[in-house]
Amino acid sequence: MKIYFFILLFFISLLSCSEQQSQSFNVISYEMKVSYDTLNKNLKVKSIMHIKQTEPKEKISFRFTSLARITDIQLSANDKNYPVSYKFNSYSIFIDIPAQFQEYKQLSLHIEYQIPIDMFSHNKIFSVSDVNMWCPFNYEDITTIKLDIETPLNYEAFSTGDLLFSTSDKNHSYYTWKNENINGYLLIISPKNSYSISKKMIDSKELEFYFVNHDTSITNNVMNEFCKSFHCFNTIICGYKDDKLRLYEIPDSGFYAMTSRKSIMVGSLMLAKKNRISYERSIKSIFKTFDKLKNKSIFPEIVNNSFNNDSADTNYIYTQNLSWISHEIAHLWGYYYYKFNTRLYKFVTEGLAEYIRWMYIESEYGKDSLNTYISDLKYLFSKNCINTIYDIPVSMAGPSDAIQYFKGPLIFHYVRKQIGKENFISFIRTLYNKYFRKAIDYDIFRMELSKYDKSGKVIKRMEEMTEMTGELPPDL
């Protein structure tokens, strides 16, 4: 169960509720020139989005935040420039295309805007990610993103993807980052030396850890679980296809973690589990009562090393989340480039990633641990969720729904039992290898799974289970 992800999920759900993306164009590339203005407390962004129209359109819309203060929008095609008018609703921007531009196949949209630094800054470290929608491109079809960043000399910048270039002059540092996918886009600007960096080589891949936290008992535990689960997925599923994987700590930004290509971002509170009160509150918001549990320590060796035993129930929940970081790593194999509004989006992203984490628990801590864990989850679920407002279909899962981290993986457990472990792993491996860096939808997911379910019965039952309430998936 990933209590922490609810903050992230909340934002994602808001995104899902926003206007459906127009299908009349593709975003070919996106370039941003960003300067970090500490004096005026602004992140200034000049962006150019290159668009290929597939049909003439009077309006186009993007998911974007209304927090951005737009200073200018212009369209250009064939060397003609034109200022355009736009409207915002809470999470989208709607841009009118002037008549003379509507017929052009290729358009460039120039958007200049500013993001207030204060809203996203902790201990002078500024960070925004795709959940902040700091740039208007939650798009599946974008091919490249180029990010040029200018910071004052005593600051440094990190982003998702590859650092192509960095240099400095008297007053500023300059960085160029390139990224090839848009699922998760991060920018961190921090005073130099805010981060301590550790590197580990696992299975010939470079794992890098960017921590603000200096408590080595915390960071070592996280690195340890990170390396173990990374190695596990490499071994039981298939080799990780990128060269690097980084973990960034995002200072004080709450209980959340998220994964994008080559990088995993974790809020400090989640990393350190420092704030027990807000942590427990987030659990209690899901479980109305906090039941006493018989089995408190599935992973006693880690529990004893990590936490004080001053609250049995709390420790139980902690133990379930000891390998929380493996959920994020599982996303890398659990295929997370699903088209944004695809059917059963939460089920195929969060449910599958969480089930892959369960496979790590099984592999690392044994079959009995997984079975105990599942029976505890079922107990918790039956006791606290069924017949409450939290008992909604997985297919409807939204903000603060524990359901997608319970029932979602339970349904995948059913699928795996039906088609067999080898087939199930082969299915995940195919998704990872065949569709690497491509955005897919539920139809492709279903088609690949159907190769292991010739009669279609398992998929039919799986889909039925995503619609049900009031009970747990049977036949487990």
Nearer to Zn ion, 161 or 408 (CB): 408
Closest distance of CB 327 from Zn ion, Å: 6
Closest distance of CB 350 from Zn ion, Å: 5
Per-residue interface string for the shown chain with Zn ion, residues 352-391, x marking contact by CB under 5 A = -x--------------------------------------
Nearer to Zn ion, 189 or 397 (CB): 397
Closest distance of CB 30 from Zn ion, Å: 25
Report the candidate in 295, 308, 339, 313 with the shortest Cα–Cα distance to residue 444: 339
Per-residue interface string for the shown chain with Zn ion, residues 44-63, x marking contact by CB under 5 A = --------------------
**CA pair distance 125, 190, nearest whole angstrom:** 4
Secondary structure in 3-state letters for the chain: CCCCHHHHHHHHHHHHHCCCCCCCEEEEEEEEEEEEECCCCEEEEEEEEEEEECCCCCEEEEECCCCCEEEEEEEEECCEEEECCEEECCCEEEEECCHHHCCCCEEEEEEEEEEECHHHEECCEEEECHHHCCCCCCCCCCCEEEEEEEEECCEEEEECCEEEEEEECCCEEEEEEEECCCCCCCEEEEECCCCEEEEEEECCEEEEEEECCCCHHHHHHHHHHHHHHHHHHHHHCCCCCCCEEEEEEECCCCCCEEEECCEEEEEHHHHHCCCHHHHHHHHHCCCCCCCCCCCCCCCHHHHHHHCCCCCHHHHHHHHHCCCHHHHHHHHHHCCCCECCCCCCHHHHHHHHHHHHHHHHHHHHHCHHHHHHHHHHHHHHHHHHCCCCCCCCCHHHCCCCCCHHHHHHHHHHHHHHHHHCHHHHHHHHHHHHHHCCCCCECHHHHHHHHHCCCCCCHHHHHHHHHHHCCCCCCCCC
Per-residue interface string for the shown chain with Zn ion, residues 166-205, x marking contact by CB under 5 A = ----------------------------------------
Give, as ranges, the residues between 86 and 115 that touch Zn ion (CB under 5 A): none
Nearer to Zn ion, 133 or 353 (CB): 353
Nearer to Zn ion, 7 or 353 (CB): 353
Nearer to Zn ion, 336 or 452 (CB): 336
Nearer to Zn ion, 140 or 350 (CB): 350
Q: Report residue 340 as tokens.
A: 């944004």
Nearer to Zn ion, 64 or 405 (CB): 405
Closest distance of CB 201 from Zn ion, Å: 26
Give, as ranges, the residues between 301 and 360 that touch Zn ion (CB under 5 A): 350, 353
Closest distance of CB 402 from Zn ion, Å: 13
Nearer to Zn ion, 12 or 419 (CB): 12
Per-residue interface string for the shown chain with Zn ion, residues 202-231, x marking contact by CB under 5 A = ------------------------------
Q: Are 210 and 247 in contact (CB under 8 A)?
A: yes
Closest distance of CB 324 from Zn ion, Å: 10
Phi, psi of 396 (to 5 degrees): -105, 5
Closest distance of CB 5 from Zn ion, Å: 5
**CA pair distance 170, 215, nearest whole angstrom:** 35
Nearer to Zn ion, 350 or 448 (CB): 350
Nearer to Zn ion, 350 or 376 (CB): 350
Closest distance of CB 236 from Zn ion, Å: 19
Closest distance of CB 32 from Zn ion, Å: 26
Closest distance of CB 258 from Zn ion, Å: 7
Number of residues that bind Zn ion (CB under 5 A): 2
Nearer to Zn ion, 258 or 385 (CB): 258
**For residue 96, how far is the Cα from the chain centroid?**
31
Closest distance of CB 376 from Zn ion, Å: 20
Binding site for Zn ion (CB under 5 A): 350, 353
